Amino acid sequence: MSDHEKLVDMASSARLSGSLSQTYSGSGSDSYSSVVYDDRNFLQRTWDSFKPINLEDDGVDTSKMTEMEKSIYATSRHPLARRLKARHLQMIAIGGSIGTGLFVGSGYALAMGGPAGVLLAYVLVGYSLFAVVMALGEMSVQFPVSGSFNAFFSRFVDPAWGFTLGLLYSISWLVSFPSELVACSLTISYWNDRINPAVWVAIFLVVISSINLFGVKGYGEVEFTLSIIKVLAVVGFIIAGICIICGVGDQGYIGGRYWHNPGAFNHGFKGVCSAFISAAFSFGGVELVALAASETANPRKALPRATKQVFWRISLFYVTTAVVIGCLVPYTDERLLNGSSSEDITASPFVIAINNGGINVLPDIMNAVILVAVVSVGSSSVYGCSRSLASLAVQGLLPKCIGYIDRNGRPLVAILITNAFGLLGFLASSENQGEVFTWFFSVCSLAAFFTWIAICFTHLRFRWALNAQGRTTDEVIFVSPLGIWGSLLGMIILILIVIGEIWVSIWPIGSPADAEQFFKNCLSMPVIIVLCLGFKAYKGTLNQWLIPLAEIDLDTGRREIDVEELKQEIAEDRARLASKSFLYRLYRFWC
């Protein structure tokens, strides 16, 4: 083919993909670059970008495949755009889900459990979530497929798991989105409460919806920027908090005063259980880093490093913060109890601590940071929900139209469904919005816990399947440093937290047994049972609850198909690392 013909062919490709330009490089001394401009105007390119993506036929006959094989094959080819870079993934891992759970919800945890209860909760929950992310990272690097863990549930355990937990996980983000919009309006009211909150809900709904319509790269850039702001704010608060503890400010030297008076624990073991639950919700969204694996340019390199950053996020942003706020705010402070809604910004222990320290400017800055965090989590809600819904659709577990992908790699229908659900944010102007959202959240109250438990169990199933099929971790690109024992212990901790939630829901602190409170907190349990049994009955698979280990597909969806070649590459990488100094190996273990 002549150079002219090549350029003509490239121009056609550019028009099909909607690209603005392409570069062609010849061989030898004739190498050159040539830019081919798309002859469509901006409105035409924008309109065409919403058209369905055209997938090339790879010649694979799916007519004789089982439903499971079709599902695995479909998720491996789901054409989400691979435009996230390593830096995007790093910041999503470090600060992606830092939001009202930490900034406001930690105040409620402090009020319920006391400073020691909060610290114990963040340490144990932090460990279990680190185990979850490591397990998920191992599987996502090996199989960077659409929907990540939703697809893994169906693939390594049973399709009923994928449908039930995937649907509840999506619903939890659906409910979270309008709730974050309400939180945005309440945050603004910190400065101006004369404007109808519905106005701010409308503004932030447009902003967050627009972010996700720019595609995954737009989401990645915005999340990268907002995460930097959140990380700097938390680090700044920790530094300011340590200064106040040591005597800077109106209170003089504080030290561990509040650990002695009013005390380290509150409400006994029930208080600790409540702190565990609140702490777990503060970690919500840690799994997003793996959900983004299929939209990352090089998950083999970027994802292992990103998942390791979760350790530092847990240590610095949660555990250290728990120590600081426990020293700065007594659990008897009545303002903390307002944090039960996770929306009243005045209940933030960050704001309370700075106000108590007599620093006049910082509360406004901290409130602005909380607003940034709320917008970030709202954007993540649209991202997480849309990708989960699209994954369920491509697996055949939801209507096929929900899995629609446009030419920019956006799951357009799923994004529109999530944005439409955001209209519930206008309940902010209603007097009963708190009660409405309480019952909405009850449907998916324990969804995050069951999702994390299922991830750990799925990781165990993946490892057991390798062993059952005579294969080893020599072909696993990224091996979780915690191994199967880390996943097992993490799963046990999370199960105990769920049991604690059930206990304090049936017998609330300071109250007799309360059936209504139980259903407000744990309605998701009967919903999960009904959805799972209903799916099994519909599919006629009530006689099989787990896919046999010998039948689990360990190959489809891998970007490296040649197992022997992959083993050789992994062995070379490990040998190269082993030749480095101890300090370098230690650094790479944690970073």
Mean pLDDT value of segment 551-559? 78
Q: Please write the tens of the pLDDT for every residue from 471-523.
A: 888 888 888 888 899 999 999 999 998 898 888 888 888 778 778 778 877 88
For residue 300, the surrounding DSSP H or E stretch is: helix 299-312
Is the confidence at residue 274, as pLDDT, over 50?
A: yes
For 121-153, what is each residue's pLDDT tens digit? 888 888 888 899 889 888 888 887 766 678 888
Burial of 42 (0-12, 13-18, 19+ CB in 10 A): exposed
| CB under 8 A, 24+ apart: contacts of 28-34 | 30/3, 34/7
Measured CA angle at 415 (ends 410, 416), to 5 deg: 125
Q: Give the N- to C-terminal CA distance of the chain in Å, as an integer.
A: 47
- d(CA 212, CA 219) in angstroms, rounded, equals 6
- Count CA atoms closer than 13 A to 569's CA, side-chain side: 13
Residue 229, both tokens: 């702001």
Tokens of 305: 């490093």
**Residue 172 dihedral angles phi and psi, to the nearest 5°:** -60, -40
Other C-beta atoms within 10 Å of 316: how many?
Answer: 15
How high is the pLDDT of residue 461?
94
Query: What pLDDT, on the 0 to 100 scale, is given for residue 458?
Result: 94
The tokens 């480095």 sit on which residue? Answer: 580
Residue 331 and residue 90 in contact, taking contact as beta carbons nearer than 8 Å: no
Q: Which residue did the predictor score with more confidence, 100 or 175?
A: 175
Whether 172 contacts 448, CB under 8 Å:
yes
Alpha helices in 18-104 (DSSP H): 42-49, 67-77, 86-95, 100-103
pLDDT at 484: 92
Question: What CA–CA distance (Å, rounded) separates 211 from 415?
Answer: 11
Q: Indicate if the pLDDT at residue 241 is higher than 70.
A: yes
Paired strand residues for 52:
406
What confidence score (pLDDT) does residue 544 get?
A: 82
Residues whose CB falls within 8 Å of the CB of residue 404, separated by 6 or more in sequence, listed in order: 52, 390, 411, 412, 413, 414
Using CA atoms, how far apart are residues 200 and 206, in angstroms rounded to an integer? Answer: 10
pLDDT range class, residue 24, cuts 50, 70, 90: very low
Q: What percent of the chain has pLDDT over 90?
A: 6
Q: Between 298 and 454, whose confidence is greater?
A: 454
Task: List pLDDT tens digits, range 25-45.
Answer: 333 333 333 444 556 666 776
Type and span of the H or E element at 588: helix 582-590
According to DSSP, residue 53 is labeled P
Domains of the chain and any CATH numbers: 80-560 (1.20.1740.10)
Model confidence over 167-197: pLDDT tens digits? 888 888 888 888 888 888 878 877 877 888 8
Whole-angstrom Cα distance, residue 344 to residue 105? 9
What's phi and psi for 406, nearest 5 deg? -90, -175
Contact 138, 479 (CB under 8 A): yes
How far apart, in whole angstroms, are the C-alpha atoms of residue 245 and residue 427? 40
Average pLDDT over residues 328-344: 69
Give the C-alpha distances (Å, rounded to integers) separating 519 from 23, 382, 444, 445, 583: 60, 27, 11, 10, 52
pLDDT band at 6 (very low <50, low <70, confident <90, very high): very low
pLDDT at residue 82, as a whole number: 65
Give the Cα separation of 431 and 38 in Å (integer): 53
Report DSSP letters for 322-383, one per residue: HHHHHHHS-TT-GGGGGGGGS--GGG-HHHHHHHHTT-SSHHHHHHHHHHHHHHHHHHHHHH
Phi and psi for 331 in degrees, rounded to 5? -70, -10
What's the per-residue H, E or C state across 524-587?
Answer: HHHHHHHHHHHHHHHHCCCCCCCCCHHHCCCCCCCCCCCHHHHHHHHHHHHHHHHCCCHHHHHH
Distance of CA 259 to the CA centre of its chain: 33
pLDDT in tens, 359-392: 777 777 878 888 888 888 888 888 888 888 888 8
Of 121-125, 147-151, 435-439, 463-467, least confident by mean pLDDT is 435-439
With CA atoms as reference, report the closest residue to 129 among 449, 583, 515, 468: 449
pLDDT of residue 144: 77
Q: How far is CA 44 from CA 14, 41, 71, 211, 316, in A?
A: 14, 5, 34, 21, 48
User: Are the C-beta atoms of residues 366 and 233 closer than 8 Å to each other?
Assistant: yes
The pLDDT score that the predictor gives to residue 261 is 85
Give me the mean pLDDT over the 90-113 stretch: 76
Average pLDDT value for residue range 439-452: 78
Residue type, 180: E
Strand partners for 296: 84
Spatial separation of the C-alpha atoms in residues 298 and 300, rounded to whole Å: 5
Mean pLDDT (whole number) for 207-234 = 84
H-helix or E-strand containing 456? helix 447-468
Bigger pLDDT: 84 vs 233: 233
Please list the alpha-helical segments (H only) found in 143-158: 149-152
Q: Which residues pair with 406 in a beta bridge?
A: 52
| Selected residue with higher pLDDT from 211 and 589 | 211
Of 222, 231, 192, 396, give the one whose Cα is nearest residue 313: 231
Q: How far apart are CA 424 and CA 193, in angstroms?
A: 20
Mean pLDDT for the chain?
77
Two tokens, residue 564: 């022997």
